[in-house]
């Protein structure tokens, strides 16, 4: 009985190892961890399926840029100088190679730096430029950014529930302690 | 119906141990202030842990990650605002707590250690406030960081820790994040443990002619804390905290978070040295109080000259705060 269990476990582990070998984890790498917007990022892809086409996407906290397709050779590799559009907002991004089915085949972190000529200081949506609150001093501003807050109906419901529950239990505890004291 | 359940929980968690005797005065509001502060700190820890999952403590990613938190993360906007208002409430609660304990002269023998642990925690709360306000990394946050570095340089070798030259291996913002989320909380936790231990062993300084139980004090405190949380939650929902535009280096045009405005007012008068001198004088005085007020008399309010110095300092701080609020924004560190 114990032998049979052991044999099954060995089989399961072997199958896992084999599957890993058949579908190796693809890699994106570069000699640079950062690049200026408008410049090119030297990029190497390895361990993709031979002939596989992936869509390269730059995904940031606030914005997403589709950079185009690239196809791996028979050995599953590709090399290119990836052009970063000049309008990419400086920040930290994930460069993602998306397979046809939408799976993330490979991911790498990359920092996009402001282009040397870029002096913009805008909201991501470009709103609020040249506000009256703008003070002198290289475009620094003291006012707050216009923000589209996105709390959903369910979110408001949960917030209401938390507040209601907290307030209700709070009142009950205070009443209980007042009765106990009197 | 709930009684059997309540009894079962009490037994399993040994809650009867909380029924120890305390002065009945501890049921009164002024004796709740320390507990309220602890409750607010707990809210700050929970909301801070949530925000920490999304915050990017690098100069390139910090501001965007705060915007992401506000605009994309479920409840992120509300949680951040609860954190912001709780931070302000902590300052009010700890100020009232310190003020009441000072007026009661509860720092006198044998409770000097309780007082010093409390004063050290108040100092840490001050540091929490200034480090936390830098993390938003908008113009105000950026200038807060610049003030740290300027203060660090002013104090020479002592202040190197608070400058970017401490290490080139990471950004100053990342270190401030680490200080805010690990170094300060650990130090605070240790001091809070000491504070509570001393209170448990030495008791509070209050009329002991009538006694009650700690569990009743804790029940009332929990009720107040939950109501406070509900109030802060409503405030966060109707007046959420915003964020400024991405920072521009080399300019100084904003004012700091309101609890620090008294330091800002002093900087208006003394320049950058104000941020070193103001907090140093206040916390040095608070630290010396048990050593300066040594008489046997423990009557509340009869501090003699120590009380007058305390009152004078509080008045000056209030004046500086008002000056900071209503005075025009000024440059202090020559950015």
Q: What would the DSSP string read from start to end of B214-244? A: HHHHHHHHHHHHHHHHHHHHHHHHHS----B
A29-45 average pLDDT score: 95
pLDDT value of position A121: 46
CA distance B286 to chain A (A): 34
Sheet holding A53-60, edge to edge: A34-36, A104-113, A91-98, A53-60, A64-71
Which of A122, A129, A142 to substitute to test the interface with B, most B CBs within 10 Å? A142
Please say if the pLDDT value at position A100 is more than 50. Answer: yes
pLDDT value of position A123: 40
pLDDT by residue (tens digit) across A121-170? Answer: 444 443 333 333 334 455 778 888 888 887 889 999 999 999 999 999 99
* Cβ separation B56–A61 shorter than 8 A: yes
pLDDT value of position A135: 40
**Summary mean pLDDT of chain B:** 93
pLDDT value of position A117: 64
Question: Which among B306, B320, B312, B315 has a CA at the least distance from the CA of B102?
Answer: B306
* Cβ separation B244–A145 shorter than 8 A: yes
pLDDT value of position A124: 40
Query: Would you call B29 an interface residue with chain A, using a CB distance cutoff of 8 Å?
Result: no
* Cβ separation A140–B139 shorter than 8 A: yes
* Cβ separation B253–A137 shorter than 8 A: yes
Question: Which among B123, B79, B127 has a CA at the least distance from the CA of B287?
Answer: B123
pLDDT value of position B183: 97
Q: What element of type H or E holds B291?
A: helix B274-292
Instruction: Give the distance from CA B267 to its chain's centroid.
Output: 21
Structure tokens at A89: 């907002």
pLDDT value of position B50: 97
Query: Would you call B42 an interface residue with chain A, using a CB distance cutoff of 8 Å?
Result: no
- A47 or A143, greater pLDDT: A47
| Chain B contacts in chain A segment 95-154 (CB below 8 A) | 111, 113, 121, 123-124, 135, 137-145, 147-152
Please say if the pLDDT value at position A42 is more than 60. Answer: yes
Please say if the pLDDT value at position A20 is more than 50. Answer: no
Nearest to A147 among B70, B224, B234 (CB): B70
| Chain A contacts in chain B segment 215-274 (CB below 8 A) | 216, 219-220, 222-230, 233-234, 237, 240, 242-248, 250-251, 253-254
The three-state DSSP-derived secondary structure of A108-124 is: EEEEEECCCCCCCCCCC
Neighbours of A115 (CB within 10 A): 17
Query: Would you call A9 an interface residue with chain B, using a CB distance cutoff of 8 Å?
Result: no
Query: Would you call A157 an interface residue with chain B, using a CB distance cutoff of 8 Å?
Result: no
Q: Tell me the DSSP string of B239-267.
A: S----BPBP-TT-------GGGHHHHHHH
pLDDT value of position A133: 36
Residue of chain A nearest B335, judged by CA positions? A137
Residues in B closer than 8 angstroms to A118, CB to CB, are none
Nearest to B74 among A137, A138, A155 (CB): A155
CA distance B222 to B225: 5
| Chain B contacts in chain A segment 19-58 (CB below 8 A) | none
Residue given tokens 């609890």 in the structure block: B259
DSSP three-state, residue B212: strand
pLDDT value of position B169: 92
Query: Would you call B187 an interface residue with chain A, using a CB distance cutoff of 8 Å?
Result: no
Determine how β-strand A27-29 pairs with β-strand A104-113.
Answer: unpaired
Residue of chain A nearest B25, judged by CA positions? A181
A-B interface: how many C-beta pairs under 8 angstroms? Answer: 143
ipTM of the complex: 0.86
pLDDT value of position A118: 55
Q: Which residues of chain B have pLDDT under 50?
A: none
Q: What is the DSSP letter of A26?
A: P
Please say if the pLDDT value at position A110 is more than 80. Answer: yes
* Cβ separation B244–A143 shorter than 8 A: yes
Query: Would you call B66 an interface residue with chain A, using a CB distance cutoff of 8 Å?
Result: no
Backbone angles phi, psi at B81, to 5 degrees: -70, -35
Residues in A closer than 8 angstroms to B226, CB to CB, are 166-167, 169-170, 173
């Amino acid at each position: 009985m114990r032998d049979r269990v052991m044999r099954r476990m060995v089989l399961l582990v072997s199958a896992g190892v084999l599957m890993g070998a058949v579908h190796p984890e693809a890699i994106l790498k570069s000699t640079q961890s950062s690049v200026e917007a408008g410049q090119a990022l030297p990029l190497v892809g390895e361990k993709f399926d031979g002939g596989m086409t992936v869509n390269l996407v730059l995904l940031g906290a606030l914005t997403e840029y589709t950079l185009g397709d690239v196809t791996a050779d028979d050995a599953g590799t590709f090399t290119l100088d990836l052009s970063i559009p000049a309008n990419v907002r400086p920040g930290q991004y994930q460069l993602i190679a998306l397979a046809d089915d939408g799976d993330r085949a490979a991911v790498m972190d990359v920092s996009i730096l402001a282009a040397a000529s870029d002096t913009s200081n805008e909201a991501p949506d470009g709103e609020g430029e040249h506000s009256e609150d703008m003070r002198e001093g290289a475009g620094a501003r003291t006012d707050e950014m216009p923000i589209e807050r996105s709390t959903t109906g369910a979110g408001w419901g949960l917030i209401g529930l938390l507040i209601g529950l907290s307030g209700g239990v709070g009142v009950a505890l205070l009443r209980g302690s007042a009765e106990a004291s009197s | 119906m709930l009684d059997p359940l309540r009894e079962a929980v009490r037994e399993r968690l040994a809650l009867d141990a909380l029924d120890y005797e305390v002065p009945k005065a501890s049921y009164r509001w002024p004796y709740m202030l320390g507990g309220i502060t602890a409750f607010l700190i707990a809210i700050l820890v929970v909301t801070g842990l949530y925000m920490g999952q999304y915050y990017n403590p690098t100069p390139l990613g910090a501001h965007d990650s705060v915007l992401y938190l506000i605009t994309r993360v479920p409840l992120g906007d509300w949680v951040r605002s609860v954190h912001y208002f709780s931070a302000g409430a902590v300052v009010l609660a700890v100020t009232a707590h310190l003020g009441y304990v000072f007026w009661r002269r509860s720092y006198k023998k044998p409770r000097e250690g309780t007082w010093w642990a409390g004063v050290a925690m108040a100092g840490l709360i001050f540091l929490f406030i200034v480090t936390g306000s830098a993390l938003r990394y908008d113009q105000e946050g950026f200038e807060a960081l610049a003030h740290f570095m300027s203060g660090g340089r002013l104090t020479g070798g002592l202040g190197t820790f608070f400058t970017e030259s401490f290490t080139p291996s990471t950004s100053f913002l990342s270190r401030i994040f680490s200080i805010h989320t690990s170094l300060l909380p650990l130090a605070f936790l240790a001091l809070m443990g000491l504070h509570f231990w001393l209170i448990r062993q030495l008791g509070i300084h209050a009329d002991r002619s009538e006694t009650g139980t700690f569990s009743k004090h804790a029940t009332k405190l929990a009720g107040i804390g939950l109501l406070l949380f509900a109030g802060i939650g409503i405030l966060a929902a109707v007046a959420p905290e915003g964020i400024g535009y991405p920072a521009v280096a080399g300019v100084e045009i904003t004012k700091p978070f309101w609890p620090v405005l008294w330091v800002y007012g002093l900087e208006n008068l003394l320049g950058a040295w104000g941020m070193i001198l103001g907090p140093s004088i206040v916390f040095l005085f608070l630290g010396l109080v048990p050593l300066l007020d040594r008489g046997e008399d423990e009557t509340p309010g009869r501090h003699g000259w120590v009380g007058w110095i305390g009152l004078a300092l509080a008045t000056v701080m209030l004046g500086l705060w008002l000056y900071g609020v209503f005075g025009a924004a000024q440059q202090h560190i020559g950015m």
